[in-house]
């Protein structure tokens, strides 16, 4: 028997069949997102051969120098998603303001936020990068959405996902009914189901944090990491391992695969900005995926998905991954 694999298109259509009143609009939107990620994957794979490495002269609204691929990926995402009539407006890390769908196209009922290229400091050194996206509903009766219409808590997300451009390209998705992973089969140009029902182990001995910020950390983070580092001889009674890829997509994918905890906490260096990672297109979609796979996601003080957003580019502390470790870190915050 031929080894038949479910394509992502088939998977989404079959999943939507169980949803009452589904019109196919959402299925079609996801298809356009998948197409965008395939295009970005192709560009990332070809790298210097197609002249996409290196930086530009410009900065984004966060004051970060934009890589060529940050801008190209942003354009690809917009071009793929603006024409079909499923989206009312988009917002991205690389655009100061929201992107309303141009007059030439019909407007749909969804709002799309994305980080077109996550971990872009990795791009020139040929290390994994990714794309993160989140889908919200456009509030009823609004056909001219403004920034305020995007400011919905993570619990309101209809769908969240990421594409990881690593040794293979993988798309991971949730629509609130578990988490599934699809690998891009280059030969047929389709993502196919390879990682059904992903689940994060509740316990782990692996943590990820940028330790160069150690002197800025708050007491609970310092305590947690100190205890990990003490290993077998310390209070935890076991040795821990550490990883830092500097690409949240790659870290989250590792955690979904074998467990772990990822921290980009509030510290003295990022306190004024409210954290390092962005709520609307990094922390919220990743939190939905992590929770849907049985993990937990918190700022240390509250559940990320319950935070009421105040700005499109708002930053937030992120502690996510294996449930028992995240709960322990939250408890350390309560105790201090």
> Would you tell me which residues interact with ligand AHG (CB under 6 A)?
64, 93, 115, 118-121, 210, 246-248, 264
By a kind-dependent CB cut-off of 5 to 8 A, residue 29 interacts, out of Mn ion, ligand AHG, none, with none
By a kind-dependent CB cut-off of 5 to 8 A, residue 210 interacts, out of ligand AHG, Mn ion, none, with ligand AHG
Cβ-closest position to ligand AHG: 248
Binding residues for Mn ion, rule CB under 5 A, total 4
Q: Between β-strands 318-321 and 261-264, what pairing exists: parallel, antiparallel or unpaired?
A: antiparallel
Among 32, 82, 93, 267, binds Mn ion (CB under 5 A): 93
Cα dihedral 106→163→306→279 (10° resolution): -80
By CB under 5 A, is residue 82 in contact with Mn ion? no
Q: Give dist(CA 62, CA 96) in Å, integer.
A: 9
By a kind-dependent CB cut-off of 5 to 8 A, residue 199 interacts, out of Mn ion, ligand AHG, none, with none
The least distance separating ligand AHG from the CB of residue 64, rounded to whole angstroms, comes to: 6
Asked whether 336 and 220 are in contact (CB, 8 A), the reply is: yes
By CB under 5 A, is residue 190 in contact with Mn ion? no
Which residues 6+ apart lie within 8 Å of 305 measured at CB? Answer: 153, 154, 155, 157, 284, 287, 288, 291, 297
By CB under 5 A, is residue 251 in contact with Mn ion? no
Segment interacting with Mn ion, rule: CB under 5 A, options 8-16, 114-122, 159-167, 182-190: 114-122
Q: What is the DSSP string of 124-152?
A: GGT--EEEEEEEEEPPTT-SS--HHHH--
Q: How far is CA 47 from the centre of its chain?
A: 22
Binding site for Mn ion (CB under 5 A): 93, 115, 117-118
């Amino acid at each position: 028997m031929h080894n038949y694999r479910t394509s992502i298109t088939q998977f989404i259509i079959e999943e939507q069949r169980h949803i009452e009143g589904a019109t196919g609009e959402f299925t079609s939107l996801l298809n356009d997102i998948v197409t965008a990620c395939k295009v970005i994957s192709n560009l990332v794979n070809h790298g210097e051969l197609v002249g996409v490495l290196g930086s530009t002269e410009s900065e984004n609204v966060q004051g970060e120098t934009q890589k060529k691929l940050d801008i190209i990926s942003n354009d690809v995402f917009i071009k793929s998603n603006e024409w079909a009539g499923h989206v009312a407006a988009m917002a991205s890390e690389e655009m100061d303001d929201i992107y309303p769908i141009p007059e030439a196209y019909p407007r749909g009922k969804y709002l799309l936020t994305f980080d077109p290229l996550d971990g872009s400091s990795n791009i020139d050194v040929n290390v994994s990068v990714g794309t993160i996206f989140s889908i919200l509903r456009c509030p009823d009766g609004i056909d001219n959405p403004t920034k305020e219409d995007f400011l919905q808590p993570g619990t309101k997300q209809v769908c969240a996902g990421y594409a990881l451009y690593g040794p293979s390209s993988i798309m991971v998705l949730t629509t609130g009914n578990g988490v599934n992973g699809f690998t891009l089969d280059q030969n047929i140009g389709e993502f196919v189901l390879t990682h059904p029902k992903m689940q994060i182990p509740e316990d782990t001995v692996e943590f990820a944090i940028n330790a160069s910020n150690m002197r800025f950390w708050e007491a609970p983070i310092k305590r947690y990491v100190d205890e990990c580092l003490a290993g077998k001889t310390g209070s935890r009674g076991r040795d821990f391992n550490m990883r830092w890829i500097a690409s949240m997509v790659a870290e989250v994918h590792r955690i979904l695969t074998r467990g772990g905890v990822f921290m980009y906490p509030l510290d003295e260096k990022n306190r004024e900005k409210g954290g390092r990672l962005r709520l609307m297109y990094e922390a919220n979609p990743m939190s939905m995926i992590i929770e849907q796979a049985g993990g937990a996601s918190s700022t240390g003080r509250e559940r990320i998905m319950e935070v009421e957003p105040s700005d499109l580019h708002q930053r937030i502390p992120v502690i996510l991954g294996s449930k028992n470790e995240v709960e322990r870190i939250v408890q350390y915050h309560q105790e201090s």
